[in-house]
């Protein structure tokens, strides 16, 4: 990897979430300078590039409709292949960026602000989805609870920091775990947990700082328990011994520690990319693009941008 330039959009913290129109405008403004910065850092010229990969789905359409046509136009003008990548698949390739020798099959969890997916990577570009969230994504729940606690957006990392100063002394419900109906399911649900925190804060309006830290620690404990328990059940049922996690929430140290601990007890190894590969980045999209180009060739320039698109289990579809 020669360079991995990420341009974060801090404008959203003022509004407590991503404002799609602002995101789209910032993309238009930044895509050229970020591309030049990536080439500059890599020390290569545009005419040395041999393929361009870009996310085509899922995501905010305004953002996709900036990056996708930009990549297509550039590939057309340079006469080099273009490859469209599913964003969730990109997060899986972040694991391979960190562990180049990793061989499927393995269990993977993609835990980000937009997705919560538990899946089996049977082969690169061939996946079996075991479960996903029925409502909020895991990172989204962290962000919403962070907002309730007065932390700025995106609040996942700040919530973890606050939780470090508290004790998980409040028993918030572990999503779906208490329900017999979902005993065999690998799906997730986080909105009930978020609502439980909302009600707790409403019922205890004058919390001092240590008590707020306890709320953060207790929420984090419940959310992480939901994830870790499903991973333990999946490795035991499927007999897989390697677990890769990715997406912004995979940067959470408590989650990493809990998985390392569970791995010792249940006999699996957890692979976690470094934080800058866990959160959204272009290197993971390039890594997926290289694999797709080798296996399936270039994507057509007619490939559409799609706001929603689950990771396809069929290998050719991206
Ligand atoms: O993968 P990502 O950068 O973007 C999406 O594809 O959504 O994930 C961002 C999400 C946000 O919800 C953010 O709050 C969460 O990851 N996040 C964390 C931590 N760092 C980032 N959540 C919990 N603990 C963290 N340390
Ligand atoms: Zn992402």
Our answer on whether the CB atom of 139 is closer than 6 Å to any ligand 1 atom is: yes
Ligand 1: atom nearest CA of 155 is 14
What is the C-alpha separation between 40 and 19, in angstroms, rounded? 30
Best CA proximity match to 295, nearest among 128, 93, 74: 93
| Cα dihedral across residues 10, 16, 17, 19: positive or negative | negative
Our answer on whether the CB atom of 58 is closer than 6 Å to any ligand 1 atom is: no
Average pLDDT for residues 253-258, to the nearest whole number?
A: 97
Q: Are strands 106-111 and 116-123 parallel, antiparallel or unpaired?
A: antiparallel
Protein residue with its CA nearest to atom 14 in ligand 1: 156
Ligand closest to Cα of 273 equals 1
Ligand closest to Cα of 285 equals 2
Find the 205 Cα to ligand 2 centroid distance in Å. Answer: 34
- Give the DSSP H or E segment for 52: strand 52-57
Q: What is the pLDDT of residue 11?
A: 63
| Cα dihedral across residues 159, 162, 164, 167: positive or negative | negative
User: 87 is written with which tokens?
Assistant: 């964003």
Higher pLDDT, 15 or 228: 228
When pLDDT is cut at 50, 70 and 90, the band that residue 313 belongs to is low
User: 40 is written with which tokens?
Assistant: 């500059």
Q: Is 218 exposed, middle or buried (0-12, 13-18, 19+ CB in 10 A)?
A: buried
| Segment 118-171, tens digit of pLDDT | 999 999 999 999 999 999 999 999 999 999 999 988 899 999 999 999 999 999
């Amino acid at each position: 990897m020669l360079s991995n330039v990420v341009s974060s959009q801090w404008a959203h913290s003022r509004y407590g979430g991503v404002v799609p129109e602002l995101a789209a405008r910032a993309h238009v403004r930044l895509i050229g300078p970020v591309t030049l910065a990536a080439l500059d850092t890599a020390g290569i010229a545009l005419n040395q590039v041999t393929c361009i990969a870009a996310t085509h789905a899922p995501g905010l359409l305004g953002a996709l409709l900036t990056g996708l046509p930009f990549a297509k136009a550039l590939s057309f003008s340079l006469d080099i292949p273009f490859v469209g990548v599913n964003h969730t698949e990109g997060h899986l390739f972040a694991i391979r960026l960190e562990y180049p020798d990793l061989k499927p099959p393995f269990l993977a969890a993609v835990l980000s602000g937009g997705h919560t997916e538990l899946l089996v990577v049977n082969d690169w570009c061939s996946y079996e989805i075991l479960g996903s969230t029925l409502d909020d994504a895991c990172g989204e729940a962290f962000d919403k609870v962070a907002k309730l606690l007065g932390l700025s957006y995106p609040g996942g990392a700040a919530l973890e920091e606050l939780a470090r100063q508290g004790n998980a002394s409040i028993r918030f419900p572990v999503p779906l775990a208490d329900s017999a109906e979902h005993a065999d399911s690998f799906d997730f649900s986080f909105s009930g947990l978020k609502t439980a925190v909302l009600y707790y804060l409403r019922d205890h309006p004058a919390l001092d700082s240590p008590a707020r830290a306890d709320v953060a620690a207790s929420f984090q404990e419940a959310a992480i328990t939901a994830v870790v328990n499903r991973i333990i059940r999946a490795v035991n049922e499927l007999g897989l011994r390697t677990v890769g996690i990715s997406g912004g929430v995979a940067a959470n140290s408590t989650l990493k520690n809990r998985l390392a601990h569970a791995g010792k007890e249940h006999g699996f190894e957890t692979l976690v990319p470094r934080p800058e590969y866990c959160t959204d980045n272009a290197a993971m999209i390039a890594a997926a693009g290289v694999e797709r180009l080798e296996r399936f060739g270039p994507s057509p320039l007619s490939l559409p941008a799609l706001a929603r698109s689950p990771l396809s289990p069929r290998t050719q579809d991206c």
